[in-house]
Structure 1
Amino acid sequence: MEAVPARARAYVTGLAIAALCCLFPLPSTGAPWWAVVLLALVYAGCEQAAARRRFGGTFYPVLLAAAFLLPPPAAALVPVPGALLSPVEHHPHVLRRVWRAARLVLAVWAAGSVHWALGGRDAVAMSDFPYALVPASAALLAFCLALAALDGGLLALVERIPVRRAWHGLFVRSLAPVAVHGLAGLMMAVLWRSPYGPVAALLVLLPMCVSWWVFAQYHREQAAHQATIRALVQAVDIKDEYTRGHSERVGQASMMIARELGMDDARVEVLRFAGILHDVGKLGVPTRLLRKDGPLTPEERRVIELHPEYGHEMVRGIGFLGEARAAVLHHHERLDGSGYPYGLRGGQIPESARVVAVADAFDAMTSTRSYRRARPVPAALEELERCAGTQFDPRMVAALARALAREGWHPAVTADEDRAPGVPRPPSVPERPGARR
């Protein structure tokens, strides 16, 4: 988002105007200002602590408690100081802060309006359970819908993602975490209205902060995994500069196939790792062979064909990769047994390797090479279908074709992010063992 398109700036500006309209009737609501200020300070403090500890995410319990306690315009004011003052890592800083504030203002206003319309404020004041759960649940749904709608709109405008894909899954993925935060927010609101007052309500945040810290540790571990993989991929890109970005594109295609096959999210992530790391064994191949312009001798080809075994040795001790290690070792096997390194046939080849083999061949055909231009996606799919049953698993080929028909092919390669805009990528060539495709 370094160079923000004009349409995205207009989108954020429009949301900011809409957020101001939500706050406009604030003076006439009769909301207690001390409650608004206290909740805003607590939320801002939580955001600052999260930024310093690099926890990530937004602390929704305070915002949802405000939606349950205050009139909608007053509740919508609570996230503004924290959103505007919290650190922003990337430019443009002002636009990102405005976006963050407007997004939360609109979501909290939507939740507060639904809760207020369904009589939730009276139910909270009287601790009327289980009836208080009905307006609270409706408010949480409105909160999730607002966030999903706003986030999807920004993705469609900035990333040029098709509209249907931009909103796909955003609402469903937000339900579980928002439901947990909403329960804590409802507990805060009930205790706030009880004889124990705001002090007891704020104590609810202690267990939430502990759980948030534990969750942040998990994300740090995931970030370390990503950093490990990124370091390996960058090393391969430096050594074999002609296939720069190939590994990440194969990871993306592998992920599309895995999702189309109905694999769970954890396994989809492992298949993405498998695609990204499938050529890591090139680090063990002499650079002169990877960059040789002329044909390879039989001896040189045998050396390059060792790269799956080199790669397997490199990643064998990385526990979180799981079955991705088998894909690294066997992604050049063929169903008819003519592949390498072991000449496995049919079902002897691990499923993960059959996924990566199709993704690898697809990107090789749809990428520009030094000796030919990239093939169109339909032509590449036609070639994969022609080789299905002998070289590739027909099930994987069909899954990729269905995924591409629905989503298209829009590879996002982070390895090229450091390239200046307008500077073309260097021509890439397929790995030598796959040239016979």
Structure 2
Amino acid sequence: MYIGCALLAAGACALPAVLPGAATPWGTVALLAALYALCELPARCRLLDRALGGSVPMGTGSFFPVLLASALLLPPAAAALTALPGSLLARVEEPPAGPRRAWRAAATALAVWAAALAAGALGGSAALGNGPDAPDFPYTLLPAGAAALTFCLVLTALDGGIRATADGLPAGAAWRGLLGRALAPHTVHGLAGLMMAVLWRSSYGPPAALFVLLPMYISCWVFAQYHRERAAHQATIRALVQAVDIKDRYTRGHSERVGHASVLIARELGMAEDRLDVVRFAGILHDVGKLGVPTRVLRKDGPLTPEERSVIELHPEYGHEMVRGIGFLGEARAAILHHHERMDGSGYPYGLHGEQIPEFARVVAVADAFDAMTSTRSYSRARPVPTAIAELERCAGSHFDPRMVAALVRALDRHGWQTDVTADETPQPLPPLPAPRPTPPPAPRPTTATARQPTPPPVPESSEPPVPQPGGSPASAAPAGGDLPPPRASDTPLTARPKERA
């Protein structure tokens, strides 16, 4: 019903242009409509898209300057007609294609009609000049700006309406953020449309106006490349995180929550927007080095031996080696390597202290420990958020950077935290291996002095309460939580490890 009403409204707006006696400049309408359609057609050509490496700008919106130029050059009803062919021919990514194309054509036609109405009310056509007559600058910026703003407002209102009706979103959520994201791009499109309209009306004629489209197409191509590269980055991150979650089932979902908490801390510290993505990558990938740790060690239910613990303590270095060639991670690579360092120098792998620890590593360390404490593991129950915060504050200055702890506390006061369970309290046993085929018994072998020695009994777990550790590799005197069972009191301190590795 919503799409049908939009189609009826668009038809009513364009109808005056086709009625008998209407002074519609059909030549200009046909040229602009064909130009807009040709600009949108390459995205539907799969062969051309593959030839250009999947970099053809896709979807309506890349060439709105053509429509805004028509809003300045044509009457409202005629301007609405120029949007129809290109909108109907544009590429649709998701089904159903028919209703989506119909909606796109109706919404775009209504927006162009409203933009032409706003420009006409301010004398936009006369301000453009004609032939040898120079345009009325700077006044012509006023109708052009009004046209671009009206175009943006109408599209935003209609898009929010379709999100509310088709997706069932609440009214506030349906329109939230749409205008802010669309205003700047539509302003740029309005300026390009104004240049195109001025050249169209000049003594050089329509061919000169086509030169405006070349830089617009290049900018759209660069923008499409950026988004494809960003999508590839996200796919790489998801693949690595899924691999860690599959291998270490007790901490499933931990990486995503550490990434979220890291962004909360970074935003409270006032980091730039471009760094927020990097710190989120650092939080998500901080445990990727566990892919290099034997599965039997990660999934061990009882206490770890000193040898097993030393193997797990290598996971930051494993992780750094895995991601060192991924250029877009930037500072996140140092955070992956150093997120188990401590402010007092007792951490690992290199025993850095204070400001020697990279800033992102200090952020991730706090986020990691907080999520570990507030999540239920196979060896420890989740702690309440206030208890976890108190533990972080107790260890601030010795284990954690006090600035990062204070930033997390402020962020939690503002946004809250949704605790989650990352593993069953009772670990589920692995499926049994298939029974081996019966084979004849081997011939008896003589006993030798090199026979296998009996396996020593497991070391009993310490009766001391669990000690937390950011991210999961416990160490002596660590803060609460962690991804591993609590260490024994007799474990070798991490500071005894040689630091020449650095």
Q: Report if TM-score (shorter chain) is over 0.5.
A: yes
My pick for the range that moved more, 251-260 or 278-287, is 251-260
Distance in 2 of aligned mates of 1:135 and 1:15: 30
Change (3 A) 1:335 1:159: farther
User: Which residue among 167, 175, 178 is the counterpart of 2:176?
Assistant: 167
In structure 2, what is the equivalent of residue 67 of structure 1? 71
1:256-271 aligned at under 5 Å gives the runs: 256-271=264-279
Distance 2:260 2:291 in 1: 22
Confirm or deny: 8 A CA contact 2:2 2:162 kept in the other structure: no
* CA offset digits 1:262-299 (Å, max 9, x no partner): 22222222212212221111111111111222222222
1:350 Cα deviation from its structure 2 partner: 1.1
Report if aligned partners of 1:115, 1:139 keep a CA contact under 8 Å in 2. yes
Counterpart of 1:184 (choices 183, 187, 192) is 192
- CA distance in structure 2 between the aligned counterparts of 1:45 and 1:326, rounded to whole angstroms: 48
8 Å contact 2:335–2:360 — kept in the other structure? yes
Cα pair 2:287 2:336 within 8 Å, conserved: yes
Give the distance between the partners of 1:184 and 1:88, measured in 2 at CA.
Answer: 25
Structure 2 residue 369 is the aligned partner of structure 1 residue 361: yes
Aligned to 2:284: 276
Asked if structure 2 preserves the Cα contact closer than 8 Å seen for 1:40 and 1:81, the reply is: yes
Q: CA deviation at 1:309?
A: 0.9
Give SS of 1:337's match: coil
Q: Does 1:112 align with 2:116?
A: yes
- The structure with the largest alpha-carbon Rg is 2
1:124 partner letter: L
Matched, 1:199 2:195: no
1:50 maps to which residue?
A: 43
Q: Which moved more, 1:72-81 or 1:55-64?
A: 72-81
Match of 1:83 among 77, 83, 87: 87
Q: Which runs of 5+ in 2 are unaligned?
A: 50-55, 428-470, 475-481, 488-502
The aligned residue for residue 128 of structure 1 is: 136
Gap change, CA 1:426 and 1:49, over 3 Å in 2: farther
Distance 2:343 2:170 in 1: 35
Structure 1 contact 120–132 (Cα < 8 Å) conserved: yes
Amino acid at match of 2:90: S
**Kept after mapping to 2: 8 A contact 1:61/1:181:** yes
Letter in 2 for 1:290: L
Q: Contact 1:23/1:76 (CA < 8 Å) preserved in 2? A: no
Q: Is the 8 A contact 2:161 2:174 kept in 1?
A: no
After TM superposition, the structure 1 stretch with the greater mean CA deviation from structure 2, 151-160 or 82-91, is: 151-160
Query: What TM-score do the two structures reach when normalised by structure 1?
Result: 0.79
Partner amino acid, structure 2, of 1:394? P
Taking structure 2 as the reference length, the TM-score comes to 0.70
Deviation (angstroms), 1:156:
7.9
Gaps spanning 5+ residues in structure 1: where?
A: 1-12, 412-423
Deviations 1:112-132 (A, max 9, x none): 333233222221245211211
Query: 1:253 Cα shift?
Result: 2.8
Is the 1:385–1:394 Cα contact (8 Å) retained in structure 2?
Answer: yes
The offset of 1:353, in angstroms, is: 0.8
1:335 counterpart (337, 343, 354): 343
The two structures, once aligned, show a CA RMSD in angstroms of 3.7
How many residues of Structure 1 are paired with residues of Structure 2 in the alignment? 412
**Deviation of the 1:332 alpha carbon:** 1.8
Provide the residue aligned with 1:10 in structure 2: none
- What is the identity percentage for the equivalent residue pairs of Structure 1 and Structure 2? 67
Contact 2:254-2:422 within 8 A present in 1 as well:
no
Segment drifting more, 96-105 vs 259-268: 96-105
> Which range moved further: 289-298 or 191-200?
191-200
Query: Structure 2: how far apart are the matches of 1:410 and 1:160?
Result: 22
CA distance change for structure 1 residues 28 and 160 in 2, over 3 Å: closer, same or farther?
closer
Using the alignment, how far apart are the partners of 1:242 and 1:159 within structure 2? 36
> Going by fraction, where is helix more abundant, 1 or 2?
1
Q: What is the rounded CA distance, in whole Å, between the counterparts of 1:72 and 1:278 in structure 2?
A: 56
